[in-house]
Structure 1
Amino acid sequence: MTVEEILKWQQSYKVYADKDIKGMDKEFLQRALQGQSKYGEEAFRMKFVVRISTCPILMEFDARIISRVTQEKWPHRIKLVSVTGIDFAGRIHDVDDICTYVTNWKDVYEIDLNLDLPRVYGKRDFRRKANAPQGKLDKDRLLTDLIRMARLRLRACEYERVQVVVETGIGLGVFAGTTIGIDETVRSLSASAIRQVLEEDGPTHRLTVAIARKGFQCFRVESS
């Protein structure tokens, strides 16, 4: 790759935000995009922000380098889009995710009585109580917000003239809340949110959405 290419890719960086979210303004975004957002409310607000830029994939998952020459145009047609979603890994940065959507979080995690929040260990992680129950989700609110996030993300892709979207957020990994037993429900709601947005907004989109599943197999949902 060349210096000119790298500069061009950096200059392609754009941000789309849900302006109806409380506190979402340019001053906040400028600070947050410099890595200065605070844990809790500000980190939660960033769930409704999409970052997108030209970002060529020059290596496969098995670490094999994809060969190319600088004259080829295909790398300039690949964009990286941030994944909007909820973080249930149980870490201080995303404490509002836990307190907003897990209705029995006080029964699940050890509590810091001074802060009335989950107790933090190692400056980052929450600890589940011994013999604690599984987490209980506010499913309606979670689904509503996931739909809002998915809609923002797909509209950002539309504005950037993306033709094929590869959606990789279904698995969610540790962020789905495996440690408190909510992961299957979270994955199901994440998939339902994307499906509902495609069904409701399909006539307005010109996208092909590929859903990455286990084993990296994909199926496509056409919306045109």
Structure 2
Amino acid sequence: MLVEYRFTDSEAAASDLATRIAAMLDEAIAARGVASIALSGGRSPRPVLEALSRAPLDWSELIVTLVDERWVAPDHEDSNERLIRDTLLQGAGSSARFVPMKNDAADPYAGQPSCEAALAALPWPLDIILLGMGEDGHTASLFPQAAELEEGLSSDALTIAVTPPAAPHGRMSLTRHAILQSRHIFLQIAGDTKKAVYDRAREDGPIERWPIRLALCQHVVPVEVWISA
């Protein structure tokens, strides 16, 4: 099932999405004693994470990890871990348990086994996966024309090391298998260009052309899409 929420104001969309995520995490903690979420990086999630950090959650019962990560130091400006620590894991949010993807290996290929083990130890299925989408239709770090895309779409592993065909930095990414091992998927879309890509990706066709189709064109996990200007 896919549900869309459309906003003319991106700040209103971010606030509403944060409220929805907080409510679902609160329900998970009440039901199972723990909640889990995997988050995307980039510019779009920042206001969502800042708003979510102010939610009255039992933060000590929340596990936070990533959808993907650039293989850079945690204090690097391109690090998704840095984004999460600077926005969500502040104040009361600092008591949440954060599980990074980046480790001390020289590159993501060498680091994948340790990352896989760390994520496999989490309580699957994750409650929420918050996805983004690039203008090329990629999600997580599953890029069209990447050498690792086919494996990322077919592997039973949770994680895969990726070299993007154009974007900088090697990456670690959740696989399609991992993304669909979740209770709920949220997708955040902003801007006319991405909205046009999203509309095309909703049409039938190969996942390899628009990898975001792995979430949009399936009937296993509920998907909610927040679309704003």
Aligning the two structures, in what range does the TM-score lie when normalised by the shorter sequence?
0.3 to 0.5
Larger Rg: 1
TM normalised by structure 2 equals 0.32
TM normalised by structure 1 equals 0.32
**More contact order relative to length (CA 8 Å, sep ≥ 6):** 2
